[in-house]
Amino acid sequence: MAQIAPRIDAPSAAPIDLDGRWLIPGLWDQHVHLGQWVLRTARLDLGAVRSVAEACAAVRERLASTASAPVVAWGHRPATWSEQPTVAALDAVSDVVPIVLIAGDGHHGWLNTPALTLLGLPPREGVVSEGEWFDTYPRLAEVGLGGDDSPAAYRLAMEQLARLGIVGVVDLEFGSPVDAWAERAAAGADLLRVRTGAYPDFLDDYLAAGLRTGTPMPGCGPRQTFSVLKIISDGSLNTGTAWCCDPYRSGAGGPGGADGSHGAANYGASNYGASNYTVAELDDLVSRAVRNGVEVSTHAIGDAAVAQALDVHERWSAAGSIEHAQLVRRADLPRMARLGLRASVQPAHLLDDRDPTEQNWPDRAGRCFALRWMLDAGVLLALGSDAPVADLDPWLAMAAAVHRSADERAPWHGEQALTVSEALAASVDGQGTVHVGMRGDLVALDDSPFVAGSADSAEQARHLRSMRSALTVIDGQVAHTSV
């Protein structure tokens, strides 16, 4: 390790016996919304409950362990439960302490009477759903139920991430003021490497603070740096706003999927999605970033948005990345490679977007999450999660890239899958394999990440999802150890 990380004070560092474990470079997540992830980490996780009774039992346990502090939980998915959530069931757990259970898909809240009263909502039998819930959710913070995103909560989340083998994240949180990291770093939330992105509204503040790509954030050490200007150039598939070369649901027409679950008004044969910016606006933003030494990450989900992003990056020689690149034209990929732009992709989204894609882009599903084509064209792949949209877990991202199915179905366009080595290589921030001269960011695994002698992608994915770090070293210092 002394050779790998010249910054370690080798004589004083005690040797660590890894006892035959696997050593890989530290893992990165190249697209997260860290503040939202921290909030979620502090909430009770009900992702595994399968009934009203199980949910109530978990809440009862939480109340007992927190001296009856209000409970905010996240993750239950009752669509397939035999019994549906009721206010009465939660009131039976406590009719004094507010309880708010946020559904795993974010589309409803299951509240008890004290929580309904606190939020000024009328009494009811069941959950608060859709529009009423979307109006209610942002008000949780006003009544003290927003959750904890203090520096201490950041520190806790970072420790949990280090246990997965994560050494760094690219934080593209919305509305991040330029001085937010100073307070966190001062309070010890400086364990991981964090590259912060700024949105257009904040660019001037960041530039005024003297920041350019690679500069430490104000008040921070070298682990927390400014990285990119983030531009959201189009929308998303699920809202029918990703900008495409061909109309949505080409040839079929009509709103949404067969079950009406994706019935956004702007789906249909005349909708192409749209760019969020005019070309002049993009030129202004990108050129200003380049002039000031700032790289650019452009969110582009539809193929038309990807092509436009490549045009703008090329015109201004803007280094950086295309975020998502969910739907691409194959002919655009060699240009992405030539421009040296990273494809910052989130494989776990393909698990969720498989069915909406088949419903709305049935003619182009083979060009979605086209990871194999990207590698073939020489594009630099960088995996991420877009947490909290997907779990902040590189092993999940790798598993989805290797085995493109969340259920018993065969892989979805398996010809675009990655091998385990390729997925790993796309998760270590370009560090390749462990070698002399690399950063002192290392992870020791109890097990090989490869399943020997197996060509079964489902088995490989299951194995990847079981991986945890036995030892995480960041910049030559131990960030997590169970060795």
Q: Which is nearer to Zn ion, 52 or 157 (CB)?
A: 157
349: left (phi over 0), alpha (psi -120 to 50) or beta: alpha
Part of the chain binding Zn ion (CB under 5 A), chosen from 121-129, 325-333, 382-390, 414-422: 382-390
If the CB atoms of residues 295 and 386 are measured against Zn ion, the closer one turns out to be: 386
Residues 112-131 that bind Zn ion (CB under 5 A): none
If the CB atoms of residues 276 and 292 are measured against Zn ion, the closer one turns out to be 276
Q: Residue 338: how many CB atoms within 10 A of its CB?
A: 13
Pairing verdict, β 166-171 and 442-445: unpaired
| Residue number, 149 or 386, with CB nearest to Zn ion | 386
Does 234 contact Zn ion by CB under 5 A?
A: no
Range in contact with Zn ion (rule: CB under 5 A) among 312-320, 374-382, 385-393, 421-429: 385-393
| Residue 303 binding Zn ion, by CB under 5 A | no
Question: Which is closer to Zn ion, CB of 303 or CB of 386?
Answer: 386
CB of 174 vs Zn ion, minimal distance in Å: 8
Mark the segment that binds Zn ion (CB under 5 A) among 178-186, 303-311, 379-387, 424-432.
379-387
User: How far apart, in whole angstroms, are the C-alpha atoms of residue 425 and residue 27?
Assistant: 10
If the CB atoms of residues 178 and 387 are measured against Zn ion, the closer one turns out to be 387
Least distance to Zn ion, CB of residue 31, Å:
6
Per CB under 5 A, which region of 55-63, 185-193, 386-394, 473-481 contacts Zn ion? 386-394
Give 40 or 249: the residue with its C-beta nearer to Zn ion.
Answer: 40
Site for Zn ion, residues 9 to 28, rule: CB under 5 A = none
Q: Return the number of the residue (112 or 321) whose C-beta is nearest Zn ion.
A: 321
Nearest approach in angstroms of CB 33 to Zn ion is 6
CB atoms within 10 A of CB 232: 20
Residue nearest to Zn ion (CB): 386
From the CB of 38, what's the least distance to Zn ion, in Å?
15
Quick one: which segment of 75-83, 106-114, 183-191, 381-389 binds Zn ion (CB under 5 A)? 381-389
> Is 386 an interacting residue with respect to Zn ion (CB under 5 A)?
yes
The tokens for 324 are 């998502």
Give least dist CB 172 to Zn ion, A: 5
Edge-to-edge strands of the sheet including 469-474? 22-25, 442-445, 469-474, 477-481
Instruction: Please choose, out of 69-77, 367-375, 380-388, 395-403, the segment that lies near Zn ion by the rule CB under 5 A.
Output: 380-388
Closest CB to Zn ion among residues 353, 441: 353
Report how many residues bind Zn ion under the rule CB under 5 A: 1
Shortest gap between Cβ of 300 and Zn ion (angstroms)? 12
Nearest to 324 by CA among 255, 232, 241, 403: 232
Q: In what order do the strands lie in the sheet with 193-198?
A: 27-32, 166-171, 193-198, 224-232, 295-300, 320-324, 342-345, 380-383
Minimal distance, residue 58 CB to Zn ion, in Å? 29
From 38, 88, 41, 97, select the one nearest 64 (Cα to Cα): 97
Chain residues that interact with Zn ion, rule: CB under 5 A = 386
